[in-house]
Amino acid sequence: MNTSMTRVQECALAVIAISVLAIAIAAPIVALGPSASWRARVAGGLTMLEALIGVVRRVLGL
């Protein structure tokens, strides 16, 4: 078997990526509430996305 990703690994990586994006979008809305400005939500989302990307990199060993 060569070192390239298998189809299952590619699907798992896609699911992880979609989950990370969904969490990054939903977390600031839930945490800040509906009255927060869109700028605060975007800033919170970008912070959350950066943190989640760091976690995923550590898990995948990148």
Cβ atoms of 58 and 41 closer than 8 Å: no
Neighbours of 36 (CB within 10 A): 14
Name, in order, each residue with C-beta under 8 angstroms of 26's C-beta and a sequence gap of 6 or more: none
What is the pTM (predicted TM-score) of this model? 0.51
What band does 56 get if pLDDT is binned at 50, 70 and 90? confident
The tens digit of pLDDT for each residue in 10-26 reads 788 888 888 877 877 77
* pLDDT over 70 at 4, yes or no: no
- pLDDT: is 15 or 27 the higher one? 15
